[in-house]
Amino acid sequence: MDAGRDELLNRIRALQFTAVELGLFLDTHPEDARALADYNAASQELMRLKETYEQRYGPLLDYGFSLSPQSWRWIEEPWPWQVSM
């Protein structure tokens, strides 16, 4: 995997993790306005980065959640567990 791709994916992962963590917190603190604002900010930035990533490297999601305009790129390698030594 090229360095730019890895770097972008790590930024996505960091935001995704932020969203996962804030989402869990909000499940038990649904009235917390600051957490809600942080969740929405992280999600918005996450959507932006995912769009960039998908344009370059293909869809992150299938089932209609991502577009695959030119060709069917979903099955392109690497799959997440195919990490190089």
Burial of 42 (0-12, 13-18, 19+ CB in 10 A): buried
Task: Identify whether the C-beta of residue 49 lies closer than 8 Å to the C-beta of residue 15.
Answer: yes
Residue 37 C-beta: closest distance to another protein, Å: 19
Nearer to another protein, 33 or 65 (CB): 65
Q: Both tokens of residue 42?
A: 């992280």
Q: Both tokens of residue 78?
A: 């690497």
The site map against another protein for 20-39 (x = CB under 8 A) is xx-xxx-xxxx---------
Interacting residues with another protein (CB under 8 A): 9-10, 12-13, 16-17, 20-21, 23-25, 27-30, 59-63, 65, 74, 79-81, 83, 85
